[in-house]
Amino acid sequence: MSVAKVGSAREELEKGDVHDTPDLDAAVGLRTEDIYLDGTLDPVYRAKATILNDALQEIGMGKYQWFLFIVAGFGWFSDNLWPIVTGLIIPPVINEFSTAQGPFLKLGQNIGLLVGAAFWGVGSDVWGRRWCFNLTLFITGVFAVSSGASPNFVALCSFAAVWSIGVGGNLPVDSAVFLEFIPASHQYLLTVLSVWWALGQLVGSLVAWPLIANYSCASVSFCPESGNRGWRYFLYAMGGLMLFLFIIRFFLFRLYESPKYLMGRGRDAEAIEVVHRVAAYNGIKSSLTLERLRAADEKYGSVDQEGQQIVLDTSALGAARRAMDVFGWAHVTPLFASRKLAWSTSLLIVIWALIGLAFPLYNAFVTYFLSSRGANFGDGSVYITYRNQVILSVIGVPGALLAGWIVEIPHIGRRGGLALSTILTGVFLFASTTARSSNALLGWNCGYSFTSNIMYGVLYALSPELFPTRDRGTGNALVAIANRVFGVMSPIVALYANLSSPVPIFVSGTLFLVAGALALLLPFEPRGKAAL
């Protein structure tokens, strides 16, 4: 496409000419306002994405989307459950295997999360959302159940790394899938999905409380396997739960391929078919036609030197070539296509990286910290430790629900909600170091649990909203990789730090404060706008 034609197309797009079918506009009742209003995206892609956004708005939030809210929520559930699982089993595992290298379990897990985020995030842009969406829970469940029979500590760490490859792909893929099927008027539900994240922590803590508290050795001095099977029962239970959720997701709900993904791959007819299937599932009819998308090609599409329309090669060979291209920079460079978009992407990567170190540095070892401080306060029993963990988990649930309301408040929105909750999370961590009683320590940690659940709820919604659909999986992968790379550093720090001291807490709190300040510098505010 010539520069002149691109400029002309963008000018027309700014005028709203992509909404050029009166019947659809009338059916929708409103025109979705897009996040990118500065000519950042390719005109053809943006025109088609806007048409699909209007079609989804026409369909509305129906039965299909609400079922998707449930099965996509399994990914949030898994993402928070498994870091909690490894944190909860570290004390009995250390006792049974007589090792002082407990942080290596977290290290294996974080390496797996890093690999999973990169592989599944990019893979969803290459091979599509559907298979990636379904396979992650299956991999997690199979290897988690297997880990319950681990004969030694090395085997357990290895299983943790492999099950985490599945866990690491949940949010990069699931957030993209959910966002690409819901109408713009309900994008706030991407934040509300974080209630599943809080439930993951709660369920893990509730199941661990009786199993680990009642079937664990008291110390490392004498801890045979026969008297320490609680952590194994716990892994069997959580792995079995993942397989159950996979069955629901795969056999009881049929996920269609994302229409925006199909459109981005030049498969317009299939995209239209999916929109009509979703509409039929909801019991309504869509007025979207293939001619509308083809009109966008004709109006804004590229032409060759002879003036002929350039049509995307959708053959198997063409798909294979594009699949090979993606392993270069084909899906990375568009995320930095303009100065403003590059600034947005870079800030998101830095924010995810800082939180990726701050959160696991404290949260992954909170059980050990509460136990050691509880001993100083005279109530460091296994029962009290896991009871407190359940209390913290319960407090996180209303925080996740509140996040969905905060992001829709005018003048606060996504950016303000993220900044405020992240800064408060750091403040509560600093305050926890002043505790002089078990109840005071628990109280400060309840505040931390509440605000951190708001923080993650907003963060997991904001990031995919700021990435265009055809590169959303890769964008989610980039921020997830940054998060996991720094997450790998947390157990390394723990190996050489005194976890019973408040120093790691001061470091975590500072990182949260910096990340909150950076959130205010994000150039785009998605509140009230349709994600492309």
DSSP at 218: S
* CATH superfamily of this structure's domain 63-256+334-519: MFS general substrate transporter like domains (1.20.1250.20)
DSSP letter for each residue of 79-114: HHHHHHHHHHHHHHHHHHHT-S-THHHHHHHHHHHH
Amino acid at position 151, single letter: P
Per residue in 218-250, pLDDT (tens digit) is: 666 777 787 888 999 999 999 999 999 999 999
Cα separation of 299 and 291, whole Å?
12
- Using the predicted structure, report yes or no on whether residue 31 has a pLDDT greater than 60: no
Per residue in 167-214, pLDDT (tens digit) is: 988 878 888 888 889 888 888 788 788 888 888 888 998 898 888 888
Per residue in 8-21, pLDDT (tens digit) is: 444 444 444 444 44
Per residue in 337-393, pLDDT (tens digit) is: 778 888 888 999 999 999 988 887 776 555 555 555 555 555 556 677 777 878 888
Higher pLDDT, 282 or 84: 282
Asked whether 464 and 472 are in contact (CB, 8 A), the reply is yes
Cα separation of 59 and 181, whole Å?
10
First to last CA, the chain: 21
pLDDT computed for residue 480 by the predictor? 81
pLDDT computed for residue 14 by the predictor? 43
Among all chains, which residue has been given the structure tokens 């050990």?
Answer: 368
Per residue in 399-432, pLDDT (tens digit) is: 878 887 887 788 788 888 899 999 999 999 888 8
Q: How far is CA 88 from the centre of its chain?
A: 22
- Using the predicted structure, report yes or no on whether residue 135 has a pLDDT greater than 50: yes
The domains of the chain are located at: 11-31+50-57+267-311, 63-256+334-519
Average pLDDT of the chain, as a whole number: 78
Task: For residue 423, count other CB atoms closer than 10 A to its CB.
Answer: 21
| 3-state secondary structure (DSSP) of residue 34 | strand
Cα separation of 250 and 507, whole Å?
42
